[in-house]
Structure 1
Amino acid sequence: MKLFVAIGLLFANPLTTITPSTVAMDKEIPAYAKWSRLALKETTKKYPNAKIIDYLYMGTVPQDDKMIATFQLWLKENSKEFGVRVKVTYDTVSQQYVNVEFEEFARPV
């Protein structure tokens, strides 16, 4: 009987309750997340037959009153694999994107 009471108290105690929402709140969303989603979306549009197989955030640098977030993606289309550097330029005040640039590159030897 004492075992059942102890188990009941354990599960009734709000300090030991972990819900998905509390776990999600513990994880901080990076500042570049919005631009990452845009880079992935625009890459999918530009290369509709390619599959994105790898992704790397390279950093963000200021340029006048704008910022440039750079992402490096690795794509596979049929048997060809290649890299694409995606630069997302956005306005720092309005937080709206201004431009997206793509630069393909080959696998380093």
Structure 2
Amino acid sequence: MNFILSIQLLFGLFLFGEYPSETNEVALAQQQAPPYAKWGQVAMKKTKEKYPQANIIDYLHIGREKGPKYSTEKFKLWLKTDNKEFGVFVDITFDNKTEQIKDIKYRETTR
């Protein structure tokens, strides 16, 4: 009798129970933004200022080049106007300690 009750309890936990470790990992992943998120927002804002007639329709973080004093976050944004679509590479160079922006470079591309 105890054996059957134990199996039913385990089966019930398996079907209806939550696994706290998995739930916590998902919640934690949703709460933590990637380290480049701040720079991605800057890239989109500054690109929108430079190309006010265009809509940003796609966004890609290419990576970070880390130097001893300055680092550069690299993005590719895809823009669309009424008559064309084009890409813009955006490189944001910033001070590693203060995170103050040193330079932003834009380079258009057709692909």
TM-score range, shorter chain: 0.7 to 0.9
Deviations 1:42-100 (CA, angstroms, capped at 9, x unpaired):
00000000000111000000234100000001100112000000000010010111111
Q: Residue 87 of structure 2 aligns with which residue?
A: 83
**Structural RMSD (CA):** 2.6
Provide the identity percentage.
41
Q: How many residues align?
A: 95
Cα gap change, 1:94 to 1:105, in 2 (>3 Å): same
Structure index of larger Rg: 2
* Greater helix content: 2
Deviations 1:20-46 (CA, angstroms, capped at 9, x unpaired):
xx8764422111111110000000000
For normalisation by structure 2, the TM-score amounts to 0.72
For normalisation by structure 1, the TM-score amounts to 0.74
Cα gap change, 1:24 to 1:46, in 2 (>3 Å): farther
Q: Please give the residue correspondences for 1:22-101 in structure 2 after superposition, counting only pairs within 5 Å.
A: 25-27=28-30, 28-101=32-105
